[in-house]
Amino acid sequence: MKASYQHATFAGGCFWCLVAPFEAIDGVINIVSGFTGGTVSNPSYEQVCAGQTGHFEAVHITFDPERTDYATLLHTFWLQIDPSDAGGSFYDRGQHYQSAVFYHDETQQQIAQKSILNLHENPKLKAKIATQLLAFSDFYPAEDYHQNYHHKNPSHYQRYRSGSGRDAFLQQLWSKENAE
């Protein structure tokens, strides 16, 4: 792996729904679905969903900063979530489904803080921004069957996106933006 590659980590509800939008960005090298922000090492999906770990479902992205930048990734992230939902994300409820930006360094922290301030100015958002800004610590990949789920199970993935309310909400909120 190239030494200059960087990482970005985002939690926005079901990690299945965050992979495809980032795949479309030139310069994204790898996307891993998994868990971060909690206290248990190497948690299982069942432990996280049971609320036993403090982890969030998240995606960990490796990107080439010569081909894309953190601000582009962050903008793409906002287009995939409801940043004002403090109780989870769409159909999925609970702490492990809440949204968060996990910054890897001071530069990412500053870019994310500015981005959150800009979201507060968005007239389409009716509630306070609930997305947390947290320092990155450890990331644990989810089980293999969760990786690239949208490719492995495309019909179920599309039914989930639609049935969870994600697609309808994103279309309404970001109607002039591409919400995947």
Q: Where are the domains positioned within the chain?
A: 6-173
**Residue owning tokens 């479902």:** 57
- Judge whether residue 5 has pLDDT over 90: yes
CATH class of 6-173: alpha beta
DSSP-derived 3-state class of residue 144:
helix
Q: Does the predicted model carry a pTM greater than 0.75?
A: yes
- Write out the DSSP string of 33-61: EEEESSSSSS--HHHHHTT-S--EEEEEE
Confidence of residue 148 (pLDDT cuts 50, 70, 90): very high
Q: Identify the three-state secondary structure at position 134.
A: strand
Torsion sign across C-alpha atoms 65, 37, 105, 120: positive
Give the residue-averaged pLDDT of 101-130: 92
**Residue 14 a catalytic site member:** yes
Look at residue 110 in the predicted model and tell me its pLDDT: 98
Catalytic residue among 6, 7, 10, 14: 14
Q: Label residue 180 by pLDDT band (50, 70, 90).
A: very low
Residues 63-85 pLDDT 10s = 999 999 999 999 999 999 999 99
Residue 143: DSSP 8-state:
P
- B/e letters for 1-21, b = 16+ CB within 10 Å, e = fewer, are eeeeebbbbbbbbbbbbbbbb
Concatenated DSSP letters for 97-115?
Answer: GSEEEEESSHHHHHHHHHH
CA angle 144, 145, 146 (to 5 degrees): 90
